[in-house]
Amino acid sequence: MSRQRVAVLISGRGSNMAALIAAAKDQSYPAEIVLVLSNKADAGGLVTARDNGIATEIVDHTPFGKDRVAFDAAMQTKLETHCIDLVCLAGFMRLLSPGFVGLWQNRMLNIHPALLPAFKGLDTHRRALAAGAKMHGATVHFVVPEMDAGPIIMQGAVAVRPDDTEASLSARVLAVEHRIYPASLRLVAENRVAVVGDHCLIDGAPVPDPVALIPQQ
């Protein structure tokens, strides 16, 4: 079976991107990372991508001002040039236009550092601590026009410890992210994920319990 061609969209350090690249180094992995696209020329992840011999593209959002549609169209041109099958958002800090999202329906994934639908948006770890959450984690989901929403493909949970700081909690969640993103992309690339209404089915079954999935560290 030919491997699915994946673009990873980043804005920053790209540690999730690196986890996807590492997983895809295995030739039996059903996807290959063929493009890393950033809206920021100084994104740290671009260096990692280039070091791994992966094509990079930069589409700077600033000349487009508030015109999201034109910015997204410029990205779409790059994605088409590289014959992309699947898109993974990995710390990509731009809101996407509904038209662009529609072009990639059920073919664009995002990772969010919280157990959605809790703690959408930014500063998830600080807010989880402030709320006294006992469980926290990360979610991989298909992208829909609404931010940090869309059918959940996989979640990984961590227990919040009484002495956790934002940094310690964030580090533990990030380790989970680096496991669930490659695992999720594998499932999608193997066509094992079906979207039924607002939910995903994996091999015809509901998405597994996040606590069962990730052994507590």
Interface ranges with ligand GRF (CB under 6 A): 10, 12-17, 90-91, 111-113, 138, 174, 177
Question: Residue 196 Cβ, how far from ligand GRF at the closest point, in Å?
Answer: 25
Report the helix count and the strand count for the chain, using DSSP H and E. 7, 10
- Work out the widest C-alpha separation in the chain, in whole angstroms: 49
Query: For ligand GRF, which is the closer residue by CB, 186 or 201?
Result: 186
Query: For ligand GRF, which is the closer residue by CB, 12 or 151?
Result: 12
Q: Which two tokens stand for residue 52?
A: 């791994």
Query: For ligand GRF, which is the closer residue by CB, 94 or 186?
Result: 94
Question: Residue 31 Cβ, how far from ligand GRF at the closest point, in Å?
Answer: 17
Query: For ligand GRF, which is the closer residue by CB, 20 or 200?
Result: 20
Q: Is 35 left (phi over 0), alpha (psi -120 to 50) or beta?
A: beta
Question: Residue 57 Cβ, how far from ligand GRF at the closest point, in Å?
Answer: 17
User: 118 near 149, Cβ under 8 Å?
Assistant: no
Q: How far is residue 171's CA from residue 208's CA, in Å, rounded to a whole number?
A: 23
Question: Residue 11 Cβ, how far from ligand GRF at the closest point, in Å?
Answer: 7
Which residues touch 157 (CB under 8 Å, ≥6 apart)? 115, 135, 136, 137, 176, 210, 211, 213, 214
Q: Which of 61, 82, 112, 136 is catalytic?
A: 112
Identify whether 61 is a catalytic site residue.
no
Give the active site residues: 112
